Amino acid sequence: MQIRRVAAIVLPMAFVLAACRTVSHDPRPVADAFAVFPATFVSEDVLPDRQVQPAIPLPALQGPGRLVARPTTPFLWTWRDPGPSAHAAFRLAGDNPFGQRMSFLVEDVFRDREGTEWVRIQTGEHPNGAQAWIRARDVRLSPISQRIVVDLSARRLVHFVRGEARTTLTVAIGDEDTPTVPGRYFVWARVRYFNPAGPYGKLALGLSGFSKVVRFGPSPGRLAIHGTADPSDRGKSVSLGCVRVYNAQIGLLWSVPMGTPVIIRR
């Protein structure tokens, strides 16, 4: 089982964000069919990752979601529990399929009786909220200064910087059959597109969460905040689970770093 999971994590193939309905008899393309291939995106980060700061010592964590962990190695070994007798669980890729260095959301920190420092992270893998322990020496810890909150009932996205609301946007969300799944996620990928009139607009922020009903073959569709060229989408429940932001406004999110917490609430 673990070998198959490693293969799924490191496979450098196209991935899907809220890709297609589970109904297999309908061959029609859908607006959020987020199959990403090399010819359709710019693989480098949208902007330099401003989240990266000088390494800090293992802090006393005051609640989850205050730090991100950026790998310093190509792969991270994860562990079921921290401590001298810890057992390895699986190997996690340090880069996403776009070649961008991951920044995992930190949930907890721990120092065992031998002085080894451990960090519990959200892995960004299925199921939603999946967590694992890693050794602190394999990552660089940085404080979080930004977050995104999506209010589904209000159809509103708010981008906070250092606790202050920087940007407030009216967005589209999933419909009744393919709802946007509430949860606490993080920015897993940042993808800029050559064709702003395409299904994902100018930019997509891939998230660490997944749809509960949308699938791409055997894999669940990954959630995203992405652009749209259609201004009439704003304020409506029309997507397959992704959060859509009008192209003229999504540029306001270009500076959001990898690892930024994204809270989606009802």
20, 87, 126, 242: the active-site residue = 242
Which residues have a Cβ under 8 Å from the Cβ of 49 and sit 6 or more positions away? 101, 103, 257, 258
Residue 40 DSSP class: G
20, 126, 159, 226: the active-site residue = 226
Q: What is the pLDDT along the chain (266 residues), one digit of tens a residue?
A: 333 333 333 332 334 454 333 223 332 233 443 433 222 333 333 333 333 333 345 554 555 678 999 999 999 999 999 988 888 999 999 999 999 999 999 999 988 888 899 999 999 999 999 999 999 999 999 999 999 999 999 999 999 999 999 999 999 999 999 999 999 999 999 999 999 999 999 999 999 999 999 988 888 999 999 999 999 999 999 999 999 999 999 999 999 999 999 999 99
Tokens standing for residue 242: 């992704």
Look-up of token digits 């890709």: 19
In which region does residue 208 sit, left (phi positive, over 0), alpha (psi from -120 to 50) or beta (all else)?
Answer: alpha
For strand 75-79 and strand 164-170, is the pairing parallel, antiparallel, or unpaired? Answer: unpaired
pTM score, whole prediction: 0.80
Q: CATH homologous superfamily for 2-46+145-265? A: L,D-transpeptidase catalytic domain-like (2.40.440.10)
Phi, psi of 69 (to 5 degrees): -115, 115
pLDDT at position 86 is: 86
Positive or negative torsion for Cα 64, 65, 71, 76: positive
pLDDT at position 63 is: 57
Task: Classify domain 67-143 by CATH architecture.
Answer: Roll (2.30)
Helices vs. strands in the chain: H and E counts, helices first: 2, 20
Cα gap 128→9, rounded to integer Å:
15
Domain regions of the chain by residue span:
2-46+145-265, 67-143
pLDDT at position 59 is: 53
pLDDT at position 66 is: 87
Q: Give the CA distances from residue 133 to residues 41, 56, 87, 184, in Å, rounded to whole numbers and listed in that order.
A: 32, 18, 10, 18
Element (H, E) at 8: helix 2-10
Cα gap 140→152, rounded to integer Å:
33
- Annotation marks residue 226 as catalytic: yes
Cα gap 3→133, rounded to integer Å:
18
- Annotation marks residue 242 as catalytic: yes
